Chain A
Amino acid sequence: RKEVEQDPGPFNVPEGATVAFNCTYSNSASQSFFWYRQDCRKEPKLLMSVYSSGNEDGRFTAQLNRASQYISLLIRDSKLSDSATYLCVVSLSGYALNFGKGTSLLVTP
């Protein structure tokens, strides 16, 4: 079983739609959780950290469910510029990041 699993998509949604991605992780001792965004042929960039209490940054909301070992990312009012691959990242400790393969999102006009 992979350490971090995501639905690869692609998710095709119209502008303005709300879309949600889930990610599951296998190691219950994982400590830190993140969502990164990777545009085509670019490096990953941190979108947001995921906190136990859940956190929101503008149109983006991240949730963590430790009991079920999954993380979610909700994007409201999708923009064309949101089209990218979203990487779920889990860290057991320190700097050892485990990346999911990513979920592709395409927002269409």
Chain B
Amino acid sequence: SAVISQKPSRDICQRGTSLTIQCQVDSQVTMMFWYRQQPGQSLTLIATANQGSEATYESGFVIDKFPISRPNLTFSTLTVSNMSPEDSSIYLCSVESQGEQSGNTIYFGEGSWLTVV
């Protein structure tokens, strides 16, 4: 399994500002993802962070709002730009790694709890 560390774990931000969330994995992984979980909602995939190339965004998410970096196989950042209260959410980094059960498994970081005021 993979150990995933996210920073910050929580933050309260002013609207109009930007926040960068960092995700560090204890091993090299090919696939890294960023999810969002808004209050009372299911997890939604924002984008797949690709090492050495631009991230692949899901419908409804754009690079200008959520720029992503993936400089190497163990690290990625997600920036939430020009924040509004609607961006208040948990942002989760996840990776695909060899699971304890058979096959690969998706693991999640502890999440970054963002409140925009």
**Chain B interface helix/strand/loop/mixed:** strand
A45 pairs with B108, CB closer than 8 A = yes
Tally of chain A residues near chain B (CB < 8 A):
17
Question: Chain A's nearest CB lies how many Å from the CB of B2?
Answer: 12
A46 pairs with B107, CB closer than 8 A = yes
Q: Give the docked Cα–Cα distance between A49 and B105 (Å).
A: 9
A-B contact count (CB 8 A): 41
Measured between beta carbons, the chain A residues less than 8 angstroms from B87 are none
A46 pairs with B109, CB closer than 8 A = no
Residue-wise interface mask of A (77-100) relative to B, using a CB-CB cutoff of 8 A (1 in contact, 0 not): 000000000010000000111011
Which single member of B43, B99, B103, B113 contacts A44 (CB below 8 Å)? B43
Residues of B within 8 A of A (CB): 31, 33, 40-45, 48, 92, 96, 99, 101, 103, 105-111, 113
Task: Give me 7 A-to-B residue pairs in the complex whose CB atoms sit less than 8 angstroms apart, sorted by A's number.
Answer: A42-B111, A48-B101, A49-B103, A95-B106, A97-B106, A100-B42, A101-B41
Residues of A within 8 A of B (CB): 4, 41-46, 48-49, 87, 95-97, 99-102
